[in-house]
Amino acid sequence: MIVDLADLMSIQKFAIMVMNNYPRVDILINNAGVLINGREDKAEVQATTKDGFEIHFGTNYLGHFYLTNLLLDHLKKSRSSR
């Protein structure tokens, strides 16, 4: 399954697929991230997510938080979830 952590709709669709296909989640590793240099030909470039958040904050923090929050009940179904 594919998820784009810079797109809240992609995260929501991914979480729904996980919840529909798996009775529980034993482990969730939030390890993806993005680092974009904000300069292109010495001109400031402001990269944003599809939802309009600054790309680093939206992907590295909000994306992980949203995914974890959507899957939290499935994580709790496993006594040893991490």
Q: How do the domains of the chain map onto residue ranges? A: 8-76
Q: pLDDT in tens for each of the 82 residues of the chain?
A: 899 999 999 999 999 999 999 988 888 999 888 888 755 554 456 688 999 999 999 999 999 999 999 999 989 888 777 6
Q: Kindly report the pTM of this predicted structure.
A: 0.83
Q: How far is CA 17 from the centre of its chain?
A: 14
CA angle 70/72/75 to nearest 5° reads 130
